[in-house]
Amino acid sequence: MTDICSLSLTAVATALQKKELSAAETTAACLERMAATEPEIAAMLTVDADGARSRAAELDRQGPDPALPLWGVPVTLKDALSTKGLATTAGSRILEGFTPIYDAFVVEKLRAAGAVILGKANLDEFAMGSGTENSAYKKTRNPWNTAKTPGGSSGGSAASVAAGQCFASLGSDTGGSIRQPASLCGCVGIKPTYGRVSRYGLIAYGSSLDQIGPLARSVEDCARVLTVIAGHDPRDATSDPRPVQDYAAALTRCDLKGVRLGLPREFFKDGLTPEVRAACDAALQKARDQGAELVEVSLPHTDAAIATYYIIAMAEASSNLARFDGVRYGRRAANVKNLEELYVKSRSEGFGQEVKRRIMLGAYVLSSGYYDAYYRKAAQVRRLIRDEYLAALELCDALCAPVSPVTAWDLGSHTADPLQMYLMDAYTLSLNLSGLPGLALPAGLGRESGMPVGLQLIGKAFEEADLLSIGHALERALPHIGRPQI
């Protein structure tokens, strides 16, 4: 059973199609692994063991189907994605007990591709956080060291993949929430171009920033899942109609000859810890050895990205979370005297501290007299940041930078200082402001901490095939970091 869980998604999908494995035994292996590791890492909020076994048995009765690229492959989902008949909480008490009546677009696509959904992974409440410590239900731990954070907000998804509980997981990335936990947990994650994957059925945090993407153990695994979940959806007005490529088939590069990688000088300043810098420098040397040409580029407004992002994200969060009022669904306060008290008590009891903080700040920057000074100015700087990315990408095929300035930090070390936590996203959130795709992959292990270090590649809009192909070639040159001993 343990041997099955050590396989890549690509390997297990091939074995399933060849009948070397059955969907039932593969699912049973993942559920057994989940039962063994959950007491230590707490990656999952809901485990649908009966539903997964039933689905696997049904698939085995039908037999392998080459037209279903994920036939029999067990996966997990961030609990911000709507799942018909399966509890969906967004990590918040205000949605405790809520069971949707429809699937998110990406969940529909996974089911149609033959995947087996094992359950819902933990997250920071409404995806607001960088360490999966803001969940109302539990704190997830990093499989590499259970005293450390797995990152966030998709920390449950990353921990689930790293611990071998599943072969891939879907997360959402608003300011780095796929790439940062992938980096801290030593797996691969991709944030697609904004609009490449439908957000229908994703519980919104920042609607102009959110994007759904996969986390898995290799670039090829992520490419296979992205091929399944990408595509146009008329239910999402921001969904792009461009046809979907077979991203796995596009992984044709054997090396990086002829590839120009841009190094943003602002990402390699003093903020990096020595072990992160050393791992990234070693990875860049591997890229040179593979034939890549490294060129320095500049993104001058990088220093303004954190302030710009949090103004826009909090404004959109304040607007999006207004719908959670105790009336239509979710938590409803008891013993209230009037409608205003119902709103106040339901939201006060249901939302956690970080969510309340962001709602209040978002309402402030959108309020009369402050909108022009804050939100409008942030929107203008956002355009400058995007233009700088586009100009830099005119000089190269992809940009290359660290994902996080540090390796995974101790649980609880930043919870009393939200500003320190916000700084953990310094190298990821500007990409969400620009809407461009980003791929995070392991660069090595930190010399002092022994924890994973992540490198991110940033590509041109809707050119995920090229980005993944470059990442695939670089991945093969980088050291294999192994698996966490959990």
DSSP-derived secondary structure letter, 192: P
Residue-level pLDDT at 75:
98
**Contact between residue 221 and residue 168 where contact means Cβ atoms under 8 Å apart:** yes
Q: Is 469 helix (H, G, I), strand (E, B) or coil?
A: helix
183: nearest Cα among 452, 418, 430: 452
| Pairing label, strands 188-191, 212-216 | antiparallel
If you average pLDDT over every residue of the chain, what do you get?
A: 96
Q: What is the pLDDT of residue 419?
A: 67
- Residue showing tokens 């000089």: 395
Q: Are 454 and 445 in contact (CB under 8 A)?
A: no
Whether 177 is catalytic is: yes
Average pLDDT on 334-359 reads 95
Check if 348 is active-site.
Answer: no
Per-residue pLDDT band for 477 (boundaries 50, 70, 90) equals very high
CATH number for the domain running over 1-486: 3.90.1300.10
Strand 188-191 and strand 168-172: the pairing is unpaired
Structure tokens at 81: 């994605």
Please write the tens of the pLDDT for every residue from 173-228.
Answer: 999 999 999 999 999 999 999 999 999 999 999 999 999 999 999 999 999 999 99
What is the helix (H) or strand (E) element at residue 108, kind and residue range? helix 105-112
Percent share of the chain, pLDDT over 90: 94
pLDDT digits over 137-162, tens only? 999 999 999 999 999 999 999 999 99
Identified catalytic residue from 82, 153, 154, 449: 153
- Residues 341-357 have a mean pLDDT of 96
Q: Is the pTM of this model over 0.85?
A: yes
- Model confidence at 270, pLDDT cuts 50, 70, 90, reads confident
- Report residue 415's pLDDT band, with 50, 70 and 90 as the boundaries: confident
Q: Which of 135, 160, 177, 434 is catalytic?
A: 177
What is the pLDDT averaged over residues 300-316? 96
Going from N- to C-terminal start, the domains of the chain cover: 1-486
- Per-residue pLDDT tens digits for 421-462: 777 788 999 999 999 999 999 999 999 999 999 999 999 999
Closest-CA residue to 443 (of 485, 401, 380)? 401
What is the SS3 assignment for 317?
Answer: helix
Q: Is the pLDDT score of 252 beyond 80?
A: yes
Q: State yes or no: pLDDT of 418 exceeds 80.
A: no
Tens of pLDDT along 97-153? 999 999 999 999 999 999 999 999 999 999 999 999 999 999 999 999 999 999 999
Catalytic residue among 78, 139, 148, 345: 78
Reply yes or no on whether the pLDDT at 74 is more than 50: yes
My answer on whether omega of the bond before 469 falls inside 30° of 0, hence cis, is no
Least Cα distance to 175 among 377, 350, 311, 362 occurs for: 311
The per-residue pLDDT for 1 is 43
Looking at the predicted structure, is the pLDDT value of residue 282 above 60? Answer: yes
DSSP class of 373: I
Q: Quick check: is 319 catalytic? A: no
Longest dimension (CA), the chain: 71
Q: Token digits for 116?
A: 């087996």
Q: In this predicted structure, what is the pLDDT of residue 461?
A: 98
